[in-house]
Amino acid sequence: MGILEGKRILVTGVLTDSSIGYHVARLCHEQGATVVLTGYGRLSLVERIAKRLPDAPPVLELDVTDQGHLDSLAERISEHVDGIDGVVHSIGFTPQEALGGNFLNTEWADVATAMHTSTFSLKSLVMAVQPLMKDGGSVVALDFDNSVSYPIYDWMGVAKSALTSTARYLARYLGEQQIRVNLVSAGPLKTMAARSIPGFEELASAWPERAPLGWDTGNPEPAAKAVVALLSDWFPATTGEIVHVDGGFHSTGA
């Protein structure tokens, strides 16, 4: 019996089989969960990727900046499962104008897009599915260490800092409903999202050398395993926490 036996998990942000979300969904299946996926834009691609999973899950369209999509989400999920025990937020987007060293020249419209999609969407998503979490549950969002600045990451780093704070406040306000909210801060990985960041290789280059445990930018499974652990009942009294899965990079100095 797996650690997610009988649980119903919503996983967002699956685009390719290099996505952390894909590996979360795969491990959730292996650990006994029923999975529902969401995708946006290239939905046919997500549906093809879903068929690679052990038990091809349903794929629902979700633009987290579209209130209509959010308002109908609980009803659409209910067509497949009778409740939700876990939610994985694996969503982020920043316009190119807000990355790559353009920090001082980025316009508010681009910053607003980054914050809406990458940060406020956590609150929007959780509130949309909250009616289905009658018995409590676990929310896990994917983060990136934002305790320091990084070259080229720019306003996405600011959005991730805000995501961290958003998770803490959600943990505060949802605790009485026994809904836990935690973050997994993964090291840089060669996902589709990473390839859209100009200079990603520069950003990631220090990890394998500085991380005490080393770091493989091509292996999303360690981060996915941490997400699955937090979705399980093995962390019943943990909320508002950040679990770093980066080979220990965050803990080392120069």
Structure tokens at 235: 């962390």
What are the CA-CA distances from residue 67 to residues 13, 73, 105 (Å)?
18, 10, 30
Determine the Cα–Cα distance for residues 211 and 213; give it in Å rounded to an integer. 5
Q: Residue 20, annotated ligand binder?
A: yes
Q: What interhelical angle do 20-30 and 221-231 show, nearest 10?
A: 50
Q: Residue 160, annotated ligand binder?
A: yes
Residue (of 100, 96, 132, 93) closest to 116 by Cα position: 93
Q: Residue 64, annotated ligand binder?
A: yes
Q: Residue 91, annotated ligand binder?
A: yes
Q: Residue 179, annotated ligand binder?
A: no
Contact by Cβ (8 Å): 37, 25: yes
Q: E strands along the chain, which residues?
A: 8-11, 34-39, 59-61, 86-89, 137-143, 179-186, 242-245
- In SS3 terms, 104-123 reads as HHCCHHHHHHHHHHHHHHHH
DSSP reduced 3-state for 231: helix
Contact by Cβ (8 Å): 31, 2: yes
Determine the Cα–Cα distance for residues 224 and 155; give it in Å rounded to an integer. 25
Contact by Cβ (8 Å): 183, 141: yes
Question: Residues annotated in the binding site, as ranges?
Answer: 13, 19-20, 63-64, 91, 160
Question: Residues annotated in the binding site for NAD(+), as ranges?
Answer: 13, 19-20, 63-64, 91, 160
